[in-house]
């Protein structure tokens, strides 16, 4: 079954907890989003993991430097998964992977802005990343075809990593998204701006069966 990741980008942990209490049954990965992580620090990872020990907690650090050291802090604070970005240097990327695998945890690379996608995916897959993510930039959220094409490229060029998709995804887009056969889908604003986030999460999960 396709996994559902909730990208939580509030500015305080209390709002994050309030959202998770509503949608928890349908969420597989809880993302401490970049905004939440900056506002609350790594303590948010431990607090979320303590409250939901049966869920994977992701730190969306988008690391571009200090990969091993910063990822190590994040994992030790409670993260199960830490992100870096595919545009950064190989030393940073491999450092995140090493920090993860030394602890029996996982590493994700975000491909936002990567131009030579097929070649870079092959390099990062060989590096040992567990997850490779298509991420549509905010300014391109009206273009659903581009991330789906990128997802195809990733799936065609990985041997080991799982392929996921992110960026302004809505319930209406789910049939097309699921048809692309991602291993997981990241949803953020569709959840935390919804009047009924439980219904949104449930509806999305129904498409993933």
Q: How confident is the model at residue 107 (pLDDT cuts 50, 70, 90)?
A: very high
Token reading at 171: 């319930």
Question: Tell me, which fold does domain 3-207 have in CATH?
Answer: TIM Barrel (3.20.20)
> What b/e readout covers 72-98, taking b as 16+ CB neighbours within 10 angstroms?
bbbbebbbbbbbbbbebeeebbbbbbb
User: Is pLDDT above 90 for 55?
Assistant: yes
DSSP string, 173-208: GHHHHHHT--SEEEE-HHHHT-S-HHHHHHHHHHHT
User: Is pLDDT above 50 for 34?
Assistant: yes
User: Is pLDDT above 60 for 52?
Assistant: yes
Higher-confidence residue of 137 and 180: namely 180
pLDDT reported for residue 81: 99
Q: What is the CA radius of gyration of the chain?
A: 16
Token reading at 125: 């897959």
For helices 90-102 and 117-127, the axis angle rounded to 10 degrees is: 40
pLDDT reported for residue 168: 86
> Where do we find the tokens 């907690």?
57
pLDDT reported for residue 144: 46
Q: How confident is the model at residue 35 (pLDDT cuts 50, 70, 90)?
A: very high
Q: How confident is the model at residue 123 (pLDDT cuts 50, 70, 90)?
A: very high
pLDDT digits (tens, 9 = 90+) for 153-190: 999 999 999 999 998 899 999 999 999 999 999 999 99
SS3 138: helix
Token reading at 77: 């604070």
Which phi and psi (to 5°) does residue 66 adopt? 60, 35
β-bridge partners, 109: 84, 132
Q: How confident is the model at residue 113 (pLDDT cuts 50, 70, 90)?
A: confident
pTM score, two decimals? 0.94
Nearest to 82 by CA among 49, 129, 137: 129
pLDDT reported for residue 137: 58
65 and 38 Cβ atoms separated by less than 8 Å: no
pLDDT reported for residue 167: 86
For helices 197-207 and 13-23, the axis angle rounded to 10 degrees is: 50
> Where do we find the tokens 């090493």?
98
What share of the chain has pLDDT > 70, as a percent? Answer: 96
């Amino acid at each position: 079954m396709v996994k559902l990741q909730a990208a939580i980008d509030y500015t305080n942990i209390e709002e994050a907890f309030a959202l998770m209490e509503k949608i928890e049954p349908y969420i597989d990965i809880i993302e401490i989003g970049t905004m939440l992580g900056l506002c609350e620090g790594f303590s948010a990872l431990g607090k979320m993991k303590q409250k939901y020990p049966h869920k994977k907690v992701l730190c969306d650090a988008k690391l571009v430097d200090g990969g091993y050291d910063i990822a190590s802090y994040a994992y030790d604070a409670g993260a199960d998964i830490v992100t870096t970005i595919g545009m950064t240097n190989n030393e940073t990327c491999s450092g995140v992977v090493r920090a993860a695998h030394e602890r029996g945890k996982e590493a994700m690379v975000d491909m936002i802005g990567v131009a030579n996608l097929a070649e870079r995916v092959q390099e990062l897959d060989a590096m040992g990343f567990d997850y490779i993510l298509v991420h549509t930039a905010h300014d391109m959220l009206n273009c659903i075809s581009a991330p789906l094409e990128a997802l195809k490229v990733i799936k065609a060029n990985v041997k080991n990593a799982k392929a996921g998709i992110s960026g302004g995804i809505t319930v209406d887009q789910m049939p097309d998204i699921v048809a692309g056969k991602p291993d997981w889908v990241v949803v953020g604003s569709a959840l935390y701006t919804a009047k009924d986030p439980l219904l949104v999460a449930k509806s999305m999960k129904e498409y993933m069966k």
